[in-house]
Copies of this chain bind each other. A is one copy, B any other.
Amino acid sequence: MEMNIALLAGDGIGPEVIAQAVKITDAVAIKFGHEINWTPALTGAAAIDAVGEPYPNETHAICEAADAVLFGAIGHPRFDNDPSAKVRPEQGLLKMRQKLGLFANVRPTFTFPSLIDKSPLKRERIEGTDLVFFRELTSGVYFGERGRKDNGDTAFDTMTYQRFEIQRLAKKGFEAAMTRGKKLCCVDKANVLESSRLWRETVQAMEKDYPEVTVSYEFVDAVAMRLVQWPNEYDVLITENLFGDILTDEASVISGSMGLMPSASLGEKTSLFEPIHGSYPQAAGKDIANPLATVLSAAMMFETAFDLHNEAKAIRDVVNKSLAEGYVTEDLAEGGKAYKTSEVGDWLALQI
């Protein structure tokens, strides 16, 4: 198969972890007889420095033309204490999501047997956890009208949803549930918010199309609690943009291995794959960042964007091997030898 992949390294450790994912992806392509065309493009603080904006039109054109986008990380501390700066790396992220129509952010949370004791949660609470969030990513309060009134003394944001936006996100969730544990939890705040009531009535109306799926409706505050109490009771969770932002970050703590968690953002035409961790500027340029989450994002890409399951499995197998044999970066070394980012990448590519 020929695959055109846009390569957005981004900021901080982004370029370093992306480089490893490219090595492994290329190795998989050789082994399975695929041809990969990588097209690098600028994004984030790197793009602001080069062309003055975080998601340039040229980058958008490259992403739109690609079959999939592999993304590193975005964000630079230089912008952190100035939330009202005119141009910010995060704006690039939001623009990218919206212009590419990446409406469904998919975040699996699972545990690695060998790493389970790194979690702040007790082993017996998290063993067997295998849940996945479908977070709506192109609507809600992130994209509603906002502004100031009364000479700046009043500020407002609008959380808004249209029925079709909920339907297409929920459809992804139901379909995933069918291939998994057949449980779907719709997370909302329907006891207060009108947009949540629209979520709930829309999902309720879809239940009949998936009679095998057991659907529950839970309030976001209750889920914030239960997620760290009994995470393994969840299977698929669907939710709106802001709730998803908060809950997926909370859920990332469960596994204790943020450096290993991949994610996908699905659109109608293209899809994007990225590690859930940030740009980790303190580690940038030191060749010490853990590349595994980005490598596992490449596995998600094979599976989700190209329906190539053996290729995805080949990547997951070598990642498990590196964990089992301790061929890992310093965050996972636990007193054993710590390998460099690039060394882990080389080793993984060789094992493919």
Chain A interface residues (CB < 8 Å from chain B): 81, 83-84, 88, 90, 94, 120-122, 125, 141-142, 144, 146-148, 150, 152-164, 189-198, 200-201, 217, 220-222, 224-225, 227-229, 242-243, 245-250, 252-253
Contacts and interface: CB of A to CB of B under 8 A. Distances in A.
B228 A246 contact: no
Given A157-B159, A161-B154, A84 B249 contact: no
Given A224-B224, A225-B252, A252-B225, A191 B83 contact: yes
A191 B245 CA distance: 12
Given A146-B195, A157-B160, A221-B248, 10 more contacts: A83-B190, A84-B190, A84-B197, A120-B229, A142-B192, A155-B160, A155-B197, A156-B159, A156-B161, A157-B159
B194 A156 contact: yes
Contact of A159 (B141, B163, B228): B141
B163 A153 contact: yes
Q: Is the interface of A mostly helix, strand, loop or mixed?
A: helix
Nearest to A125: B120
Contacts of A148: 194, 198
A198 to B, nearest CB: 4
A9 to B, nearest CB: 21
Contacts of A248: 221
A253 to B, nearest CB: 5
B229 A247 contact: no
Contact of A155 (B141, B147, B189, B198): B198
Contact of A144 (B147, B156, B162, B245): B156
Contacts of A224: 224, 246-247, 249-250
Contacts of A156: 144, 158-161, 194-195
Contacts of A90: 191-192
8 contacts: A90-B192, A120-B121, A120-B125, A153-B164, A155-B160, A220-B246, A221-B245, A228-B253
A221 to B, nearest CB: 4
A274 to B, nearest CB: 15
A54 to B, nearest CB: 12
A161 to B, nearest CB: 6
Given A155-B160, A157-B158, A160-B155, A193 B146 contact: yes
Residue among A163, A194, A243, A253 facing the most chain B CB atoms (10 A cut-off): A194
A12 to B, nearest CB: 16
Contacts of A160: 154-157
Given A225-B252, A249-B222, A155 B161 contact: yes
A198 B121 CA distance: 35
Residue among A155, A189, A220 facing the most chain B CB atoms (10 A cut-off): A155
A198 B83 CA distance: 10
B229 A250 contact: no
A142 B195 CA distance: 12
Contacts of A153: 162-164
